[in-house]
Structure 1
Amino acid sequence: MPKLLRANPTETWLIIVLLIISVSLSLSSDKFFTIANLFNLLNTSSTNLIFAVGLLVVLIAGGIDISFAVAASVVQYVAAVALVGIGGGDWLIGICLAAIAGIALGAVNAALIYYFRIISIVVTIATFNIFFGLLMFVTRGVSIYNLPEWWTHRTMLIEFQQANGNWNGLALPVGIMAICVIATWVLIRHTSIGRQLYAFGDNPEGARRLGINIAAMHFIAFGWLGLMAGIGGLVQVHYAQEVVPNALIGRELDVLAAVVLGGARLGGGRGTVLGCILGVLLVSVTQNGLNLLGISPYAFKMIIGAIILIAITLSNAPLGRMFVAPRERSGT
């Protein structure tokens, strides 16, 4: 057991901190440690966790992306318009449309980074503004409420009636999230592509000399995040029951904080799905606890900022590595 703890120090500390915070909140609020609240935590965390496992792959590959939340918003509108145009569709068609659109937007980032030799953070800041500006220009900020019934109908995986007569349970997004988490775990831990992503993120020059396809690494990493962004956008609409152009703006910092808190290194080559899950849960539990205690939401924003700052400060990789141009990273 001690050997296991030493082999996974980040995950171990996250579990300890999560338990301490959970016990403290349970003593401070009688609403926290209830089945209804725990199920609500899982339901509301589903979208962020789908985004997080996508971002994890990009961070492992040594990149960074802050445009995925806006990309998800674009996918929502594209999917909504397309589905209404074909008469409604179903979950399978919706996920396929979201996947195609999300991967396409991720490929735009990958192409700009690789072919034009621009660092990833600069590219994604630019595409964040381009995607959002284009979305607002085309839609004029108008929300869409007339959606296919399958998309807005609350499908429950587990459901129970509370003492007050209200119904609660785990919704379909939790099942979709579980599939995305397992797929990401398989990708990075049980495929040669996953091993190449770790190698590329840890030592780009060494990866190039080993014959790893650098272009493929960029497109796979950002394409995977685009895929998760598309699916996450679809799930968020199912939860919110509407398509709102700016509903996801700001999620990128929450998700980034959770993933780096979970042990993903800003600089590449390190990160686990378990750490990612624990990071998202810790951030969600903290936000939920502050809400139950009636503390201002601005306090949560301060915590997120502090998490990002501490994660960068404690990162084993030199900060300058984040800003190394792809030309140098790929050895060209």
Structure 2
Amino acid sequence: MPDAAQASSPSAAAALARLRRRPEAWLFGVIVLAVAVFGAAAPGFLTLPNAIDLLETYSVQAIMAMGLFVVLVSGGIDISFAATASVSQYVAALLAARLGLPAPLVVALGLSVGTALGCLNAALIHFVRIPSIIATIAMMSVTFSLLMYFSGGRSIYDLPDWWTTRVTFYETETASGDLVRVTLPIVAMIAVSLGTWALMTRSSVGRQLYAMGGNAEAARRIGMRIGRLQFVAYGFLGLLAALAGLLQAHRVGESVPNAMVNTELAVLSAAVLGGASLTGGIGTVPGVLLGIVLLAILQNGLNLLGVSSYFFQIVIGLTILASTSLTVLSSRRGRRHRTLGEAAHA
């Protein structure tokens, strides 16, 4: 029995060490610390209505982060998803408010616009060989500028009732009299997160995306269809960006052409905070969700404390810099270890 206990002890210690190295573990620790600090310093932070309100507010960004996560895992990057969301939302709003098309057709066409824009990114990257960051920055500029040009920056306020009516799946009243509602954006975020998790961990396409992001040349040599995988990744992001745009209009009751602009860095920051590598092949859905939660807590806590919103932008910038630096340093360390190992064998 003592031998068995001694044998299991190193195994448990090794498992604990692996857990500590996972981004989700330290990210969860930071979230607990942030909740404790803001809970003590900001009145109203540790309340159920505030928590549910944060979930709904950040559900749109979480949905876009799921799509961006898939692209990052595949070894690419996309900066145009917020513009894609805006265009898809506005096109759907025009079809609904001006042409009076039925809800299923409006939703299907809106999602199709987002998917088509995502696939256009994939085509530019795969066939024209434009680096993903250049292609998607250019597409962001083109699509958003066209949207503002043809819309004149005018919002659409007369959306049909089927779009703007709040859909509530659960409702309760707290002791203080506040209503707590689990609404459509929250349920959609949960469904999209579960679907993305299943795609990336339970399907052959997901495993191929991880392999392609880890080493695209090796994936190509063993017969993986790189072009098809890129269309899956960028098309999936386009689809989720369009869904996020439709849900944003549902939340606010109107379609504003520039409502989704400037959310790119926050979504990217959440993805890399959760462990998605900018070099591809790494990341998990729970990690990305924890990244969204941390950013939501930081922004909400700072707002309640009266701190300038510009400080939150500083946090986002530093997050991306720190995550990128860690990625570069870890890749250098990995190359150094491989070089030393090859030299030792030689």
> Fold-level match, TM-score > 0.5?
yes
CA distance in 2, matches of 1:236, 1:166: 23
CA distance in 2, matches of 1:317, 1:110: 26
Q: Which residue of 2 aligns with 1:13?
A: 26
Total equivalences in the alignment: 317
CA offset digits 1:201-253 (Å, max 9, x no partner) = 00011000110001101101100100110101011111111110111111010
Q: Which has the larger radius of gyration?
A: 2
Candidates 312, 324, 328, aligned match of 1:312:
324
Residue 161 of structure 1, CA deviation: 2.9
Q: Which residue of 2 aligns with 1:136?
A: 148
Give the TM-score normalised by structure 2: 0.88
CA offset digits 1:156-205 (Å, max 9, x no partner) = 12222345645332211111111111111111100000010000000011
Q: Which residue of 1 aligns with 2:246?
A: 234
CA contact (8 A) 1:89 1:148 kept: no
AA at the equivalent of 1:186? A
Q: Which residue of 2 aligns with 1:24?
A: 37
Q: Which residue of 1 aligns with 2:90?
A: 77
Q: Which residue of 1 aligns with 2:52?
A: 39
Q: Which residue of 2 aligns with 1:65?
A: 78
Give the TM-score normalised by structure 1: 0.92
Q: Which residue of 2 aligns with 1:323?
A: none
CA distance in 2, matches of 1:49, 1:5: 29
AA at the equivalent of 2:300? N
Q: Which moved more, 1:181-190 or 1:2-11?
A: 2-11
CA distance in 2, matches of 1:14, 1:95: 36
C-alpha change, 1:109 and 1:27, in structure 2 (3 Å) is: same
Matched, 1:270 2:263: no
Matched, 1:182 2:175: no
Q: Which residue of 1 aligns with 2:337?
A: none
CA distance in 1, matches of 2:237, 2:61: 12
Q: Which residue of 1 aligns with 2:255?
A: 243
AA at the equivalent of 1:176? A
CA contact (8 A) 2:69 2:276 kept: yes
CA offset digits 1:254-307 (Å, max 9, x no partner) = 000000000000110001000000001001110010011110000000000000
Output aligned runs, 1:198-209, within 5 Å.
Answer: 198-209=210-221
CA distance in 2, matches of 1:9, 1:212: 28
CA distance in 1, matches of 2:105, 2:198: 24
Candidates 213, 217, 233, aligned match of 2:229:
217
CA offset digits 1:73-127 (Å, max 9, x no partner) = 000011111223553523x444422321111000110000111101000001100
Q: Which residue of 1 aligns with 2:9?
A: none
Q: Which residue of 1 aligns with 2:130?
A: 118
CA distance in 2, matches of 1:124, 1:30: 42
C-alpha change, 1:52 and 1:5, in structure 2 (3 Å) is: farther
Unaligned runs of 5+ in 1: 319-332
CA distance in 1, matches of 2:238, 2:181: 29
Instruction: Percent identity, please.
Output: 45
C-alpha change, 1:131 and 1:317, in structure 2 (3 Å) is: farther
CA distance in 2, matches of 1:5, 1:258: 24
Matched, 1:127 2:142: no
